[in-house]
Every structure is written in C-alpha cells, then in structure tokens.
Chains A and B, each alone.
Chain A
Amino acid sequence: MPLLEVKGLTRRFGGLIAVNDFNIELGEREMVALIGPNGAGKTTVFNLVSGFYQPSEGAITINGKDTRSMRPHQVTSLGVARTFQGIRLWGEMTVLDNIRVSQHYRAGYSLLDCFLRTKKYMLREAEIERVAWELLEAMELKDCALELPRNLSYGLQRRVEIARAMSLKPSLLLLDEPAAGLNSADVEGLIKLVRWIHDTFPVTIWMIEHQMKVVMSLCTRIKVVDFGATIADGSPSEIQANPAVIKAYLGDDTI
C-alpha cells in the first residue's frame, strides 16, 4: 500500500481549472519533486493534499485513509506536515513555543487536566518539551530557541519552519519552494538539511522547487505539471531529456 495515493484529483475555482486529473503514488522514504511554471497548480495540489482545500473530484488517500471531508488538522495527525511558500511562523511566539504548539495533536489531555496539572498533563507536556528541544538541538537551532522568529534571518526562519513541520513526526513532508529567497550559501545548507532529514527520519519528502540545483541534487523522481495537467513523470535524467518539458518549462536553456 502506498503512503500517499492521489487519483483523478481535480480542483476548479469558478471556471478556472487549477488542477486537472492529477495522479501520483508515493511510497515510503521517497524524495520527489513537483515542478512546473508559475500558476501551474502546484501549490493547489499541496493545499488539496494537506486538506486546506476540498477536491472538486478525485480522491486522496493517506496510509489507506480517505482524507476527503477531513479538516486540515485531522489530515496532519495522519502524518502529513508541510511548509509554506511564504514563511508562516507564529511571529510573536518564541521558536520553542512554535515547535511546542505544532505538537498540539499529541497533547491529548483535556482542559480539566490542564487546569489541575494532573499527572497526565505533566507527562505529556514534558514529552512535548523534550521532543522540541531534541529537534532544536539536532537542527542546530538551539541558540535561537527563545528568540522571536521575526527577529531571525530569512534562512534561519526557513530552518525553523522545517523544524516545526518535523515536530509533527510526519511520514510525508511537503516542502513548498523551500529554497525561494535563499542565497547560495543558504541553499547549500538547505540541501544538506533536507538530505539529513531524509537519512535520519522515516519520511517521504515531496517538494515544489524552482531551483534545479536543489531538485537535481536531492530528488530521485520528478513530476512536471503545466496548466493543471501532468506533462511528464520520471527520473531526473528522463525529465531533462523530455522535449515536452523543455518546451513548457525549461525553455531553450539546458541545465
């Protein structure tokens, strides 16, 4: 059974077809890229998979569970985490709190537990705190744990956002243009980080990315979309040689 199975996914906004008959299957521990020109419907696919939009047609199953009619936080607790194109951290909360709040579904205690500080509450809070610190330590963010995200550099904010997604202990991680707006040194750091995550955790990574350097050095499979429809699917070398892709996306420049 594949981790993620998307069948005939279609999403219309009024008369506009943003995603048209999109299909994909992702297995465990894959690293896949979704590329295509701007406005091709890539982010819409991510929004559909993470439950933010409901599909007009088609089905999404995660670990065999149909996610239609689920709310985003329910989809998330099935093991789907994501980052956003523009960074969406909670700017007025410390980095540590950002990573604590994202473990909300794991808190699992009632309001009464919270008021009475029961044993259950104490155990769960300690666990959340431990996971947060471990992650911060592992992702070299320990020094800025008590800073507010808006005071951090753009590159660090990206890193915090990925850490926040990882604190959900996902089996599928969606990265929406993780390298956008980063300088070349930060891009190197990002590639290293994503590779490290993939090596360390049992996670499938699916990314939207425009920087071919990132895609080519990380992904084993690439899917190309344009105008909401899939135009190619294959290994990096196949994609590079595919004439339809070159025409639609890469233009005349070869990589």
Chain B
Amino acid sequence: MQKHTFTISLFVGIFALTVLAQFGVINQYLQSVIMLMGVNIILSTSLNLVNGYMGEFSCGHGGFMCVGAYVSSVITVLCFSKNQILGAPLLPPSLALLAFPIALFAGAAVAAVAGLVVAIPSFKTRGDYLAIITLAANYIVISAIDNMEIIGGPRGFMGMNATVNGMKGLLDIPWMLLWVLFGTVFSVWLLRRFVTSTLGKGVPAIAQDEIAAEIMSVDTNRMKLIAFMLSSGIAGLAGGLFAHILGYVNPHSFDIMKSTEVMVMVYLGGMGSLSGATLSAVLFTVLLEVLRPLEIWKWVVIPLLLILLMQFRPEGIMGNKELSDLFPKLKKFYSFK
C-alpha cells in the first residue's frame, strides 16, 4: 500500500485542483500562477540534470524551451487554426485532444535534437568553454526564429488558442491546467527514474571525476548525450506547454534572461536535488508574484537575494539532498519509484 500512497495522493491532488478550478474556487489568476509554477518546475528540474547532476554550466536553457514552444505551436496552429500563411486548419477541432500531446511530444523531440548542438562539443570540452557554447546556442535559436518571417519573426506567433478551444469543445474543463500538471508529474517522474538508476548515476560520476568514470567503464560520451538531450527535450516540453498557456509566443521571451531565471531556480534549490529544484521553482514563482508590486525593483531584489544565498548558504536550499534524506520519516508514508 505504502508503495502507492504517493502516486495516489498525486493523482487525487491533480483531480482536486482541476475540480476546484472547474467550479471557480480557484480563479483565473491563481490558475495561471499554478500553471506557471508547473512550467518552472519542469524547467528547473531538467536544467538541474545538466547544471546540478553533471556539474556543467549550461546557460542556454531558454533556447531549447524556445525550440519546443515553436515546434509544438506550429503543429497545432497548422492543424487547428486558420492562419494567413499556414492556411486553413487541416484537422477538425474534435481531434485536438489527441493531437495536442503529439504536438507537445514532437516539440520535445526536436528540442532534444537541438540539444545535440551542445552535447557533441561537450565530448571534447568542459566548463567555461562549454558554457559559452550553450550561450551561443541560445542566441542562435532566438535570432534564427527572428529571421523566419513565416512564423512571425520578431513579432511572435499566435493562434494556439484554437487548439485549447477545440479541447474545450469536447468537454468544458480547464484543460491546460490538467495538461501542465500531467506534464510536470511526467517530467519529474522521468528524471527521477533516470537519476536513481545505475545508468543515471553515471552522470554525477562524470561531474565528480570524469577520468575515473571513463576508466570505470562509464561511456562518458553516451552519458553526456543522454543528459543534454533529455534535459533539452524536457525543456522543449515546458516550452510547448508555456506557449499554449499564453496562446502567444515571442522569441524574446526565451532569451538569456529566461535562461538566467531557470539557473536562479536551480542554484536556489540546490544542485543535484530534484526536490530542491521543485521546491525552489514553486518558491521562485510565488516570489515573483509577491514582488510584482515592486515592478522593476523586483529584478534588483531577486539577484540580491541570490547573492546573499551564495554568501551564506551556497549549496542552495537542499544542497544535494532529497526531501526523503532530510526527513527519513517521510519514507514511511511513501516510496517514490
């Protein structure tokens, strides 16, 4: 029984949230905060695989998110909405429910392939130089999209609402909230399964001593490939969800600033801890909302907080510990597989 308590409570939670949203107990604003939280959790846990577990310094996560957002948006717009350039919808709106996850998945897959741009040079180089490669990759993605007039270029791309409306036409429930919650659980579940396996433990082995890892039979190139592609693929999923929450994307919402935001969440939560990354994503989203009245000063206060954190608790909130390491009693109530 205890084996399943966590899973059950998770699904009960998702169900409860959806029901509450359906009957208006949670208003639109709170719903959007929760959705943003979910997207941030996906982003920070996926970047944690590279920046935390593998000890690299990737500062181009926003670029991969951008790829996922655009690919999935183009697919859904192509299928379900009338667009001046892309033409009439190809599919009836009733198929939206089926096509949406496929579009999300396609976005994630293309983002994973884009991750190769960073993964392949990582075979030869590490640290500062790799950081620049990720940075350049982020810029390249953004300016590439800026130059594609067919998907709006710098003006952005819209029309994703038709897909969400298509799903609403089948059954009027808060679909996006549901999708985001499922996406979040799926991503964390995927990452969790990876990092707890012997295969996945090769990743922190590379961080701690790459030479020893290679000589102790860890195929370091394969591990780097997996880590970068998994990380960027999941970021692509987050991008797809993000695009469909807003119904509008602009390449400049995925620039270095976005990547920095995700990095802040990773280092706030603690490197090499999935529960830390989740916790800090929640905290960070709430912080952003609470500090909203400060307007631009918000972006003075948040860096200052992080600087203080680095001075006094550089390992982040959780260090590399998981929640169950800090509170062993929790293990009695659930086992998280």
Contact between A and B in the complex (any CB pair below 8 Å)? yes
- Once the chains bind, are A101 and B205 in contact (CB under 8 Å)? yes
**A76 proximal to B (CB < 8 A):** yes
Q: Is A12 close to B, CB under 8 A?
A: no
Among A51, A102, A114, contact of B216 (Cβ-Cβ < 8 Å): A102
A72–B214 Cα distance when bound, in Å, is 6
Contact present for A114 and B320 (CB under 8 Å): no
Q: For the complex, is A13 an interface residue (Cβ under 8 Å from B)?
A: no
Contact of B337 among A103, A105, A117 (CB under 8 A): A117
Q: In the assembled complex, which residues on chain A have CB atoms less than 8 Å from the CB atom of B215?
A: 50-52, 72-73, 76, 82
Q: Which residues of A sit under 8 angstroms from B212, Cβ to Cβ?
A: 84, 88-90
Query: In the assembled complex, which residues on chain A have CB atoms less than 8 Å from the CB atom of B226?
Result: 111
A74 CB to nearest B CB, Å: 8
Q: How far is the CB of A175 from chain B (nearest CB, A)?
A: 13
Task: Count residues of A near B (Cβ-Cβ below 8 Å).
Answer: 38
A67 to chain B, nearest CB (A): 13
B194 touches A114 (CB 8 A): yes
Contact with B along A178-201 (1 / 0, CB 8 A): 000000000000000000000000
In the complex, are the beta carbons of A107 and B193 less than 8 A apart? no
Given contacts A92-B204, A114-B193, contact A107 B214 (CB under 8 A): no
Residues of B within 8 A of A168 (CB): 216-217
Contact A93 to B198, CB < 8 A, known contacts A76-B216, A88-B209: no
Task: Determine which of A88, A105, A164 lies in contact with B211 in the assembled complex, contact meaning CB atoms within 8 Å.
Answer: A88
Residues from 63 to 82 in A contacting B, C-beta threshold 8 Å = 71-73, 76-77, 81-82
Could you tell me if A92 and B320 are in contact, using CB atoms closer than 8 angstroms? yes
With A84-B212, A117-B337 as contacts: A104 and B190 at CB distance below 8 Å:
no
Interface residues of A (CB under 8 A from B): 50-52, 71-73, 76-77, 81-82, 84, 88-93, 97, 100-107, 109, 111, 114-115, 117, 121, 124-125, 128, 164-165, 168
What are 10 A-B pairs with beta-carbon distances under 8 A?
Answer: A51-B215, A89-B212, A90-B204, A90-B205, A90-B213, A92-B320, A100-B198, A104-B199, A104-B216, A128-B198
